Amino acid sequence: MLNREEIEKRILSTNEAGLVTVLYDAMIDNFEDSIVAIDEKDYNELNYINNNSRDILAELLSTLQGNSEIAKNLKEIYIYINKLLTMGESNKDRTYFEKAIKITMPLKEGFSELEKNIDPKIVTGLTYGKSNLAEYQLKGNKDFKG
């Protein structure tokens, strides 16, 4: 699991596919944390984690544009993952979260590959000033349509 500073750096230096990959990473971490919460019988934590996972799913749904076959398929997958979360929480059964990880992992890997093949939208770096280092950003106009 990445710490907050690493996540912020990754978000600032990636492209649209990379941002989706970050969301998948966070969701997979949540699924793993849900399994731990079930094992420890911490059902309040399980509820909190699942609400966060649903927020991530809502964000992923909002990235889908148009009625392409890919967008439709991803929407169906996200709805199914939400169903798994609901069943896992209500039944307090870790197998639903294990299944959600198995479904999400290939999606994450696919978007991770896309991330490597699309230039970043914003490039950050450091320049030398007169007496210090200064951060700069170059913005591009590239878009990702899923």
Per-residue pLDDT at 111: 86
This prediction has a pTM of: 0.75
Phi, psi of 133 (to 5 degrees): -95, 140
Read off the pLDDT of each residue in 35-43 and give the average, rounded to a whole number: 97
Can you list the domains of the chain with their CATH numbers?
A: 4-118 (1.20.120.340)
CA distance 146 to 137: 25
Average pLDDT of every residue of the chain? 83
Phi, psi of 87 (to 5 degrees): -65, -40
Which amino acid is residue 88, in one-letter code?
G
Read off the pLDDT of each residue in 98-121 and give the average, rounded to a whole number: 86
Grade residue 119 by pLDDT with cuts at 50, 70 and 90: low
Coil, strand or helix at 93:
coil
Per-residue pLDDT at 4: 73
Per-residue pLDDT at 54: 97
Per-residue pLDDT at 109: 92
